[in-house]
Amino acid sequence: MDKRILILGSNGQIGTVLTKALVDRYGYKNVFASDIREPKIQIANFEILDVTDKNKIAEAIDKHQINTIYHLAAILSANGEKNPSLTWKINHDATVNLFDLCVEKKIVTVFFPSSIAIYGPHTPKINTPQYTSFNPSTVYGISKLTGEMWAEYYHKRYGLDVRSIRYPGVIGWQSLPEGGTTDYAVEIYHGAIKNKYYNCFLKAGTKLPMIYMDDVIRATIELMEAPASRITVRSSYNLSGMSFTPQEIYESIKAHIPDFKIDYNPDFRQQIAESWNESIDDSMARNDWDWKPKFELEEMTKDMLRHLSN
């Protein structure tokens, strides 16, 4: 059976890159991208879809004979704090409605991303285990954690093949994040290249788990292609790429752009970052579906600077 893929939230930081990867892998005719806005560049079949509009999503599933869904639409951590009730509607309510629809329409596999935002001040910060205490401090984190719990529930109760990864902060040259706490790690490269200056909204020593876009896309596709029998985690897999502080990423860039300057002016996002963890134990992803990251900070910086300078 051909995969017939619907992507919700295809214009976002990850959606933009994942949509292209899915078109390359499964063919243009099998990939249907959607978002609430038109894309800047159209790389797949596209239609406007509001993730809170269950009926419209149902129509799209029927019309395109969809059997696989990537549900990427969400409001991130920092923007979420500006409008908690809208964030809950989009991140939580729409996700539960979508899981219902997947059961109703007999969707074969659905992907739902979770995040390091589910970790909280009482979660072990170093090598955070797969199963531990979670007490997220943002509405985004709460919505992702409940989404994980619903995923597990829908799998157990209805047999829905839902798969998920707790994405670390994602860094890529292809797209910009919007409204997250880890956004600084993308903006810093743009600042370095355009102005040889970056005004960082986190403190120099705030270490967070991060991952390069190439690794994110590969992890997502590898998880979605793994045999269902190997998937033992139905909430969401811990996934690790690298960990660094603003000071460390600054130094890795400065090695290539010696007159690059930085200031640190922490804002409300500092508190969010401090509630998260520093590094992740992803041994379950490694064991279950052979996950292994390829990019560390140095290689990522070289690759980012090479692409962005062009």
Q: Choose between 67 and 275: whose C-beta lies nearer to ligand SER.
A: 275
Which of 128, 182, 220, 252 is the binder for ligand SER (CB under 6 A)?
182
**Residue type for position 266:** P
Q: Residue 159 contacts by C-beta under 8 Å, 6 or more apart in sequence?
A: none
Q: Is 173 exposed, middle or buried (0-12, 13-18, 19+ CB in 10 A)?
A: buried
H/E segment holding residue 17:
helix 13-26
Instruction: Tell me the window of 36-44, 91-99, 114-122, 236-244 that interacts with ligand SER (CB under 6 A).
Output: 114-122
Q: For residue 299, give the nearest of 212, 204, 190, 174 by alpha carbon.
A: 212
Does 94 sit near ligand SER (CB under 6 A)? no
C-alpha separations of 39 from 19, 34, 45, 217 in Å: 11, 9, 11, 19
Q: Choose between 72 and 76: whose C-beta lies nearer to ligand SER.
A: 76
Which of 49, 76, 139, 162 is the binder for ligand SER (CB under 6 A)?
76
Does 275 sit near ligand SER (CB under 6 A)? no
Does 237 sit near ligand SER (CB under 6 A)? no
H/E segment holding residue 100:
helix 94-104
Which of 15, 169, 172, 209 is the binder for ligand SER (CB under 6 A)?
169
Does 220 sit near ligand SER (CB under 6 A)? no
250 in active site: no
Catalytic residue from among 70, 140, 154, 198: 140
Residue ranges that bind ligand SER, judged by CB under 6 A: 76-77, 115-117, 140, 167, 169, 180-182
